[in-house]
Amino acid sequence: MPSPRRLRVLVYLVLAGVVTLLFFTSRARHSREPDTRSVRDFYHKTTDALDKSHGASGGQGAEKVIAGHDVDADGDIDADDAILAREMAERLRQAEQKAKDSAKAKGPNKPDSPKDLIGVGSSASGQEKGADEEIARVQDTGETEATAEERAVGAELAAIFSKSPVIIFSKSYCPYSKQAKGILLEKYVVEPTPYVVELDTHPLGAKIQEKLGALTGRKTVPNVMVHQTSIGGGDDIAAMNNDKTLAATIMALGKSRVTVSERFVQSVPKAG
């Protein structure tokens, strides 16, 4: 029979061997790379099952499909798997909603209604019918809002130019505009009567002014136009009035359609 001392040595050797075995087993388990194939396979199986479950709504089908699987791959189906299943179902719901929102955001813009784009001139009783029809046509063809607005400005300008050969583009608060209107509408009799557009009260005023700047090179008001040709602003009208060339300039551009005469002409008394 071995002595007690030998028994203790034997026990220590056995314990050392067990500890060594556990140590190397643990290191091998931690150093082993996880098998991601099972996760990918599980994801594809889950998405396939979701496509087939038409009756599920609000992501409940996802939880039902995921439930009952070893989600965390720890070898057991436990409470952790249920928690992970709910989290994965929620992520799937969020991804689906994000895809819907993205598709909705990329959809084509619907043009505004013609009544939202067409305005009225400040001294007009309404717009020409052609402007309404142009915007309605733009809406029917599904053009973008920017294109529809550009066409609206073009149609509105065409309607304005049809009002009279002489157009005064003005702003109600502008002193230079008031000066030009005072000369053309009060000092002179212009036939047909000049048509005044107050751009500060017109729904498309800013866009019309921008368009006029591109067409005539004059980006400010007033902008007096005869047969769609600009003859200048407030200072220009005042200068031609002082030089007695304003009436001739307007009639030359208006040709036979426009007549201009001074409203009040002082008669010179005859020498006695």
Residue 224 φ/ψ, nearest 5 degrees: -95, 125
Cβ distance 69 to 42 under 8 Å?
yes
Does the pTM of the predicted model rise above 0.75?
A: no
Tell me, what amino acid is at 270? K
Alpha carbon distance 69, 85 (integer Å):
8
Three-class secondary structure of residue 144 per DSSP:
coil
CA-to-CA dists, residue 243 to 100, 221, 236, 237, 239, angstroms: 69, 22, 11, 10, 6
**Cα four-point dihedral sign 109, 113, 117, 118:** positive
CATH topology of domain 114-262: Glutaredoxin (3.40.30)
- Please enumerate in sequence order all residues whose Cβ is within 8 A of that of 131, keeping only pairs 6 or more positions apart, or say none: 118, 152, 155, 156, 158, 159
Q: What dihedral angle (degrees, nearest 10) is formed by the CA atoms of 128, 131, 133, 138?
A: 180
CA-to-CA dists, residue 271 to 11, 47, 264, 266, 267, angstroms: 152, 109, 22, 15, 12
Map tokens 């009002």 to a residue: 163
Map tokens 């309607």 to a residue: 159
Alpha carbon distance 48, 59 (integer Å):
14
Alpha carbon distance 77, 35 (integer Å):
18
The residue extents of the domains of the chain are 114-262
Alpha carbon distance 140, 138 (integer Å):
5
Beta strands in 29-171 (DSSP E): 166-170
Alpha carbon distance 119, 51 (integer Å):
51
Map tokens 């087939």 to a residue: 52
pLDDT 10s per residue in the chain (272 long)?
667 777 777 777 777 777 777 777 766 665 555 554 554 555 556 556 555 554 444 445 445 444 555 545 555 656 666 777 777 778 777 777 777 777 666 554 444 444 443 333 444 444 444 555 655 665 565 556 678 888 999 999 999 999 999 999 999 999 999 999 999 999 999 999 999 999 999 999 999 999 999 999 999 999 999 999 999 999 999 999 999 999 999 999 998 899 999 987 655 455 54
